[in-house]
A and B are shown apart, each in its own frame.
Chain A
Amino acid sequence: MRMILLALLAGLAGTALAQDAPQDNPPELVGGSVRTSTAIAVPVMPGDVIGRQVAEVIASDLRSTGIFTPLGPSGLPSYAVEEAGNPAYPSWRNAGVAALVSGYIEQRPDGRITLACYLHDVTAGRELVHQGFAVTAADWRRAAHKCADLVYSRLSGQQPFLDTRIVYVAETGPKNNRQKRVALMDSDGSNHRYLTIGRNTVVTPRFSPRGDRLVYVSYIGRKPRVLLYEVASGQERLLIPGDHITFAPRFSPDGRDVVFSMAENGNTDIYVVSSSGGSPRRLTATPGADTSPSYSPDGRRIVFESDRSGTQQLYVMDADGSGQRRISFGGGRYASPDWSPTGNFIAFTKIAGPFRIGVMSPSGGGEKILTDGWQDEGPSWAPNGQFVMFHRTPQGAGSARLYAVPVDGGAARLMPTPVGGSDPSWSPLNN
């Protein structure tokens, strides 16, 4: 009897509990991933006459990322300094933008200026981030780049990359008498200047991890030689003294070493040497041409190209030269590898008819071709690992230009160099 009653009660209790059961699996809202650029207003910043120019630089920087459609500064209403942190969101919403970059410029007692930079989510009606940048008045462009980096970083989740410089080989003159000089500029093309005078042809300039030095190849007496260049002083010296043929240099991630190729007795191998001097140490010893070495960001591995199999292919080895193994098997030839700063990709030039820029994983999988030009080559990563810069020579054209392409897909964007150029290298983020 008791058993029967207990069973009845248990059944009733179970029914009641089922009704009030907690929500174990909450409903799921799935957002879209619309491949569209975000409309972002960049009005003139109040406080100083350079407010319009600052806004123009910010808008231009944001446009160059490919993920924003900046509006302004022309055609947008002005606002007071006090409104920078508290804008009239409904008005900006009516302007059809999703985000707003506001701010102001303030003179400091020490003669410098402060650029106060605010980013607002216009749709949600709230400030997302703000930061001030104090610079000398002459350096206002850098403050604008920093503001653009703040906006890009907050809205994309990526590391900043806009306050950077680019070194490349500037090419001028006719094809049969081309002058090639090392040139340096900000990532938006401003502050362009030549570092070499063009007496010798130069190729493959590369930044040091801190951006204070360069290595590049200069054809001295028709022999390629690696030079090490101090950006601040303009001083340069041979990396390897003597009469050796050296080329394809790159710094190690800590800047202490330079890895490069050296040709001896008809064989080209990869060596490493301290950037402060000393004797080079040989890393490869296989018959054939081993060249274009590039360190992984942790400094433990090196990717390079070699024709030891009969055609140019990519290989990875440990930083001491051990454990060499081929990673490219996709057909065609592979050249000029560059390990991404994030470590998850290796960019390369693929030669299979046309020259194309591609990326693959360090193990060789997931190959993806990023460009579709006739002759695209010489990839170099942006410091945040989201873009690859390269030089493109159109079919029938005599000179190359620099382009940057997003690694997750999209169109390549022409870089604003004043002259034709090749062999770009992206600097680390400026301090």
Chain B
Amino acid sequence: MRLDRAEWTGTGAALLFHVALIGALSLSLAHVVSVPEPPAMDVEFVEDVGLTSAAPQTIATPPPPSQAPEIGEAEPVEPLPVIQPQPSIVPTPAKPRPVQTKPAPRASRIGADFLKGIENDELAPRSGPAKPSAPTFSATARASIGQAILRQVQPCADRQPFIGEGASQVRLTVNLKLARNGRLIRPPVVLGTAGDPDDRAKYGELLEDQVRRIFADCSPLRLPADLYDTPTGGWNDFTFTYRVN
């Protein structure tokens, strides 16, 4: 096929345009989204999240007004069609609890019902108004989030006791479903167990116990809110492997 002058010009322009496009895309893709580390804060694990306060009941001064958008009746809004509340979700006053005279310890106090109420307990703000460019959960971001999660739970992992010589040969693949506030939506789920069958039978359940203990003791996780759930993924669904030394 022979090209005339116009075709050569068009082809050349197209090539130039694509080269420029690839260059621009590559530069953009190579740019790593810097995930800002949230400022250090004291987190106290509580048992009844969102149901009743576990903070000492003797606080007399009201808390400062929240800077984050409130859910509910923080600001007057246009009246909406009234929805009849269902009896099952009518909030009932919390039972009075005895005043705690001892300050709450810094150790974990997460209980069996530690997942209750997570919908109303927002440690990380929800996505605000649409931003000019939506964040993407790139491979780099995924790796950074993975490292952030492991870094936060590593102190609890380090505390796990020796359970047997063969335990180090077993590796669990574990999935977490996380709420925006960094808490688990459900207990960790073991997707797979690798290792010698005898060792798996002997130590698989004990290692799963350890994973549950680690995430009960070292959550909620503090992670960037804008990467919770993006069109390309997010830390709401996190899979990792677990083994012991």
List residues of A whose CB falls within 8 A of some B CB. 1, 4-5, 8, 11-12, 15, 18-21, 23, 26-38, 67, 89-90, 93-94, 98, 121, 123-126, 128, 155-158, 408
Contact = CB atoms under 8 A, between A and B. Distances in A.
B150 A157 contact: no
B117 interface: no
B241 A125 contact: no
Given A29-B153, A29-B154, A126-B112, A1 B11 contact: yes
Given A26-B239, A29-B150, A123 B213 contact: yes
Contact of A31 (B136, B143, B173, B243): B243
A31 B146 contact: no
Given A19-B139, A121-B213, A35 B244 contact: no
B190 interface: no
Contacts of A4: 11, 15
B205 interface: yes
B23 to A, nearest CB: 12
A30 B240 contact: no
Chain A to chain B: the 8 pairs with minimum beta-carbon distance, closest first: A27-B146, A33-B162, A32-B158, A31-B244, A31-B160, A125-B111, A31-B157, A125-B112
A114 B169 CA distance: 40
Contacts of B164: 156-158, 408
Interface in B24-45: 25-26, 29
Interface string B178-216: 000000000000000000000000110111011011101
Contacts of B244: 30-33
A28 B161 contact: no
B199 to A, nearest CB: 10
Chain B interface helix/strand/loop/mixed: helix
A343 to B, nearest CB: 11
Contact of B111 (A1, A34, A89): A89
29 contacts: A5-B14, A11-B22, A12-B25, A19-B136, A19-B139, A28-B241, A29-B150, A29-B153, A29-B157, A29-B214, A29-B243, A30-B242, A30-B245, A31-B160, A31-B242, A31-B243, A32-B158, A33-B161, A34-B158, A34-B161, A35-B162, A38-B161, A67-B161, A98-B213, A121-B209, A123-B108, A123-B213, A124-B213, A128-B209
Contacts of A30: 157, 242-245
Nearest to A123: B213
B209 to A, nearest CB: 6
A28 B3 CA distance: 57
A366 to B, nearest CB: 11
Contacts of B229: none
Given A29-B153, A126-B212, 11 more contacts: A5-B14, A11-B22, A20-B232, A30-B243, A33-B160, A33-B168, A34-B160, A38-B161, A67-B161, A98-B213, A128-B209
